[in-house]
Amino acid sequence: MNRETSEVLEMEEQVLVTGGSRGLGLATVKLLLTNGYYVSSISRQISLELIELSECYPSRLETVALDIRNAESVALEVRRLAKIRPIYGLINNAAQGFDGLFVTQRPELIADCIQMNLTAPLMLTRQVLRYMLTRRRGRIVFVSSLAAHRGYTGLSVYSATKAGIEGFVRVLAREIGSRTITVNAVVPGFMDTEMTSTLHEEQIKQVLRRTPLGRLTPTDDVASMVAYLLSPAAAAITGSSFIIDAGASI
């Protein structure tokens, strides 16, 4: 199969994006649609921006209102989507975070963060893999965070979930590589999204002082890396984590 044929096949398949209603997820959905992919956006709520986008791409964007923490509903939805169009890619982007010292966190809040950021995407990946393994074809991308690599006060639980994701990526890549399925992670720095809006002004200033480019990470830059990892050019890349952080990790 030559590269041109491979590109055509990819465009006929679909990519699932979780948390596609805003922030990085929405930027990713927009870019993939622009690049010609069929996209299914999965999020707890369908934002106005996503509705407007679906009106522009009525035949190539499927919007799904679903809480990925509900394992039974996830299994049913993945089965439904797979019947509509073969699943080529899965972008595990949905996550939640909170700011606060670990010793003051309520146990239920800690458990919910772990469920949303770690357990749920792993279970979704397991469902999607059933179809990818049969076809011996697929791309899986997890969205991690610079918080998994650097110590930021108040983000202990969030950091733990993202570090767990990157460890999972390395092992899963080894387990399923023989089926021509790649697994990678993108590691954004602090982006100007709803999640970072919970940080205090002084925390943002501290991040900018530690960042050589002196700015937050653009969501479009991260979305571009996600799109690259789905492309034929990235066929030999698996088990890797790619940092896009305006130099903050230097």
Residues annotated catalytic, as ranges: 158
Cα 116 → chain centroid: 12
> How far is the C-alpha of 120 from the C-alpha of 101, rounded, in Å?
24
Residue 87 one-letter amino acid: I
Residue 80 CB neighbour total at 10 angstroms:
12
Q: How far apart are CA 211 and CA 243, in angstroms?
A: 13
Query: In whole angstroms, what is the distance from residue 58 CA to residue 34 CA?
Result: 13
Tokens of 83: 């019947």
Q: Cα(77)–Cα(73) distance, rounded to whole angstroms?
A: 6
